Structure 1
């Protein structure tokens, strides 16, 4: 699928990735399960995720059920309706 991305689509993807990373850093990262910062504080970015850990639940944008796949022993979640 990556080979089918146009240059403009790649540029939009890069912009979106930078925006998400900036927002995640500003929110202190994600505290999933038992992760905390060295200061003992939690990160709060996980409250903003759209699909993480929502397998089978409806997408908040299009109501398509969220899917979970495992890649290299790591779970990934996506909306097959929005993320083609």
Structure 2
């Protein structure tokens, strides 16, 4: 998918766990995992706004567009390097 979700990056910068973020945003950890792992087909603006408020960031810090194939190539390299 050409939209890449960078919630992991912001979580690491804020030294925050997925569980803590989910609780503070008001969504389930399972739904946050779906969004974080790029499996979500949509995100509500209210959820995006809550993520930005809790993480102290802009929507562009969480979402970015990559041409088709670029994101998959990055994921393949990450998997080969032993990163999740």
TM-score greater than 0.5 by the shorter chain: no
The structure richer in strand per residue is 1
Using the size of structure 1 for normalisation, the TM-score is 0.24
The structure richer in helix per residue is 2
Using the size of structure 2 for normalisation, the TM-score is 0.24
Larger Rg: 1
